[in-house]
Chain A
Amino acid sequence: MIRTIHPLYLLGLMLALLLTLIWQNAKIEEEISYKLSQRSDARSMAKRIVALKKVMKTAHKGQIDAFLDGSLFTGADLTHRVKSGRYIVNAQKMNARQLQSFLNRILNMSVKVVQLKVESQNDKHVSLYMEISL
């Protein structure tokens, strides 16, 4: 009949308990480290996405309408219409400076150019056809 625990059993039990604790600790720490690393990766990705979205933020419809409606290009016959969610812009008698300014401003609105056609009309003027989507 066992009257009390043998010290070697006690030693064995304590060792087993200690090893289990160490193993369990290491396991949880590894899990924490993995989760932290995942969260860090996720945060970096989220920041990159937010930054990209910010850079590529397209101007809203009202801004584009205001730009195209306004008589900003004197002399240039600029018209536009909306078809299937796309802006179709036509311009005649645009001089080089106006063309450059138009393209500069419209492209800075982060629109996606689907089609572009510029044709020389004479020495000073060009015609422009552009399809853009938001």
Chain B
Amino acid sequence: MASFFSSNAVIGLIDKNTGRIKVEDKINIILTPSFYWIKRAYLEVNFTSSALKYAPSIFEGMLPEGNYSYYAVKTKKEYMFFAYDPDEIISSLKAKGITASQISGIYFAQNEMHNIKAPVQCNKEDAVVVYNDTVLQVPKYLVDESSLKRNLDEIKELSKHKITLHKSSVTHSIKELAPVLSVLGMLIVLYTTQLFFTYKQQQKLESQGSVFQEYKLPLTFVQNSSIEKKLRSSFKAQTSFRKLIFSILKLPLSQRQRIKSLSYEKELFTIVFEMQDYARLRDIELHLHKSLGKLVKIDIEKNVMRVKII
């Protein structure tokens, strides 16, 4: 049976009666008519996908019991419908030792072999022939044995009509992917739980009232920022005023030094001294700077000292 394959063994004609196959590399499988049913129909639809919807009714009543999948190919005048049982194909391929990872593509003989010139042997008893544009599987004794071929050399290129047996891939790959899928599943459960709690936390946070409301303050950040700024500036001004006035009252004046008047308006103190020795005002300036630092700016003009609160 291995004789059906070319030397590269990339295309294989598989029949229900094919024995076990040893595949080294990937394989393109051509299924003999024993795996599928075919029917031609003329439909007033433009697309294959639309035509495919009619497939179950087209085959209704003519298929043996089973779970069928359908495939349609558009020809010039009509649609060609295929009905196949993926489970049957899967189990058959498994029995022949072909794994899903080894399969490059699965094709119907109808689509790949309709141009063959000579009959091709597909098992010990049968051969595949073309009759009225239809690929048929017939007993070998019905064909001329001298022209019977045992390989698929005539098929140079495969069509685009590849079918997929999802179930096959699942049954095969699910085992390989099971650990990854279960880890992913666990992570999904974990993150969903986390998301649930995070969402709850967010809702709880949103339901809480404004912090400013707790302190009986205006609701917005901008308003409070402005209030704080105003309070700070007022606090600084008052503190500076107090510090300055107490510093003035505690000035270490000499016996001859006396303050004639002290006035304050618009953040400016004016101190008028009664004294002859103006130079000694510098000592007082120094004292004020020492006790008040950068809070004040001092100007001296003769016996008048102007202290500005900065």
Contact = CB atoms under 8 A, between A and B. Distances in A.
**A and B part of one assembly:** yes
Interface of A: 1-8, 10-11, 14-15, 17-18, 21-22, 24-25, 28-29, 31-32, 35-36, 38-39, 41-43, 45-50, 52-53, 55-56, 99-100, 103-104, 107, 110, 112-120
A14 B190 CA distance: 13
Nearest to B167: A3
A112 B195 contact: no
Given A1-B70, A36-B205, A18 B174 contact: no
A42 B212 contact: yes
B225 interface: yes
Nearest to B55: A1
B241 A113 contact: yes
Give the secondary structure class of B's interface. Answer: helix
Contacts of B261: 117-120
A100 B211 contact: no
Interface of B: 52, 67, 69-70, 86, 166-167, 169-170, 173-174, 177, 180-181, 184-185, 187-188, 191-192, 194-195, 198-199, 201-202, 205-206, 208, 210-212, 214-215, 217, 221, 224-225, 227-228, 231-232, 234-235, 238, 241-242, 245-246, 249, 258-265, 274
A57 to B, nearest CB: 11
A39 B211 contact: yes
A14 B188 contact: yes
Contacts of B181: 7, 10-11, 14
Contacts of B188: 14, 17-18, 21
A3 B235 contact: no
A21 B249 contact: no
Contacts of A5: 166, 170
Contact of B224 (A46, A55, A100): A46
A11 to B, nearest CB: 6
A47 B215 CA distance: 8
Contact of B166 (A3, A11, A29, A100): A3
A38 to B, nearest CB: 8
Contacts of A118: 259, 261-263
A2 B238 CA distance: 83
A53 B187 CA distance: 52
B173 A8 contact: yes
B166 A4 contact: yes
24 contacts: A1-B52, A3-B167, A6-B170, A7-B177, A11-B177, A11-B181, A17-B188, A28-B199, A28-B202, A42-B212, A42-B221, A42-B224, A46-B212, A55-B235, A103-B246, A103-B249, A104-B246, A107-B242, A107-B245, A116-B245, A116-B265, A118-B259, A119-B262, A120-B260
A57 B61 CA distance: 97
Given A110-B238, A119-B261, 17 more contacts: A5-B166, A8-B177, A11-B177, A21-B191, A21-B192, A24-B195, A28-B202, A29-B198, A32-B201, A43-B211, A45-B225, A46-B215, A49-B224, A100-B249, A116-B245, A116-B264, A119-B262
Contacts of A22: 191
Given A49-B217, A56-B238, A6 B201 contact: no
A125 B262 CA distance: 13
Nearest to B242: A107
A3 B184 CA distance: 23
